[in-house]
Amino acid sequence: MNTIRRKSPTPQPSRIQGTLGVRKPADDEPSAEEAPSGREPAAGSRTPRDEPPARPAAGERPSRRPERAAKPERSERAPRRDEGAKPARREDTAKPARGERAARTPGGSPRDSERAPRGESAARRSAEGRSPRGDDSAASRGGEQGHSDAARGSFEARTASAAAIAEAAQARAAVEGVRLSKLMAERGICSRREADEFIERGWVFVDGRRVSELGVRVAEDVRINLAPEATRTQQQRATILLHKPVGYVSGQPEPGYAPAVGLIGPDNQADRDTAQRFHPSHLKNLAPAGRLDIDSTGLLVLTQDGRVARQLIGEDSKVEKEYIVRVEGTLAENGLALLNHGLWMDDRPLRPAEVEWINDEQLRFVLREGRKRQIRRMCELVGLKVVGLKRVRIGRVKLGDLPLGQWRFLREDERFG
């Protein structure tokens, strides 16, 4: 059997990475005695760099990665170009002692050379009467004062801005004004419905100029006049006084009960001989100005005039209404005082009233407001029960001798307020 011998591969030359230094001549090389131990080999000895690369043994594959040459020692490295001009390192400078301060260096802070020891500086400031913080404290106070002034100025600016916005809003409101019909109702000239009717007919004059368009806005201090036709129409608007019997509702009709307005007719007119005669037109837009319970009797006002309705049932109405009330039960100890003032109803206090005994069974009430079933609920709060209620006066207009179930016109000389 023949054996084939393979030729060992020639090792590739190694590549040395790094910076090589220039070898000194033999005359300049230090002797073995001068060379530091462990750094320079003895004369005549071979270094690992001079030995040829070892051949791999038979059957071993050579390493493809060349061996990296050993890095030269620090002393053999080539000096940098600027190494000769390199300034002394910070570690080379001597550090001052613990209790001493370093002298001012050319690159140091200008305060370093002027800074005195802590104790000496504090003593000097104390002798001069300054605070330990010195000028820094004054500067801080000045900064705080400036910040406070800036904040105050900002607040004043915002306040002035808000005031300017409010003035602008008022100016816009003054320019835009209020609706003419609303202003006429507020002044008591007529109701808003009547105002719209008069405006459509051209019977309203604002500062001498005729207005015939609905929704017009005017200033609150304008002068408003009505045309003679509107005045005559208002005079023709009827206001009727009715002595309502029990069992009639004053407002909207209820099942099984007739409305009080059904009693207004030619047969029930009490003043037919002294006043104008009834006409069906008197029922147009006739509405009650105030309520009277179904189980109560007395004076009920029905009107076509919005001014009268506003005067009697407006939110700011202060027209008195007088009642004669028959009660039964035992009045609480302080019940009469509470009836006059101090009771609450529907989470609201009642306005002061005038309540007094007429006899052992009847009380006289004078109210300046009209809540639903107010007198009956007031009496229940103090231990009484109402068995009869009659309204005898509204403002300066009295029921008088008007028969039950009959009505009459409000006379020209009568006024509620």
Tell me the CA distances in angstroms from 127 to 120, 139, 280, 329, 398, one per residue in order.
11, 21, 109, 94, 97
Q: Which helix (H) or strand (E) holds 231?
A: helix 228-236
In the block, which residue shows the tokens 């407001």? 369
Short-list 317, 328, 379, 380, CA closest to 351:
317
For the domain 235-409, what is the CATH superfamily, name and number? Pseudouridine synthase (3.30.2350.10)
Give the integer Cα–Cα distance in Å for 238 and 123: 102
Which are the catalytic amino acids? 293
Which residue intervals of 253-340 are DSSP H helices? Answer: 306-313, 335-340
Dihedral angle sign, alpha carbons of residues 178, 182, 187, 189? positive
Do strands 248-249 and 258-259 pair parallel, antiparallel, or not at all (unpaired)? parallel
Residue 172 phi, psi (nearest 5): -65, -40
User: Which amino acid appears at position 370 of this protein?
Assistant: G
Q: Over the range 154-182, which residues count as b (16 or more CB within 10 Å of their CB) and which as e?
A: eeeeeeeeeeeeeeeeeeeeeeeeebbbe
CATH of region 179-234, choose from 3.30.70.940, 2.30.30.280, 3.10.290.10, 3.40.50.720 = 3.10.290.10
Domain ranges of the chain: 143-176, 179-234, 235-409
Structural Rg of the chain based on CA atoms: 58
pLDDT of the chain along its 417 residues, tens only?
Answer: 455 555 556 655 555 555 555 555 555 554 444 444 444 444 444 544 545 555 555 555 555 555 555 555 554 555 555 444 444 454 444 455 554 554 444 444 444 444 544 545 554 554 554 544 444 544 555 555 555 566 566 666 766 777 778 777 666 656 678 999 999 988 888 888 889 999 999 999 999 999 999 989 999 999 999 999 998 888 788 999 999 999 999 877 677 788 999 999 999 999 999 998 998 989 988 999 988 999 999 999 999 988 898 889 877 788 999 999 999 999 999 999 999 999 999 999 999 999 999 999 999 999 998 888 999 999 999 999 999 999 999 999 999 999 999 999 999 899 998
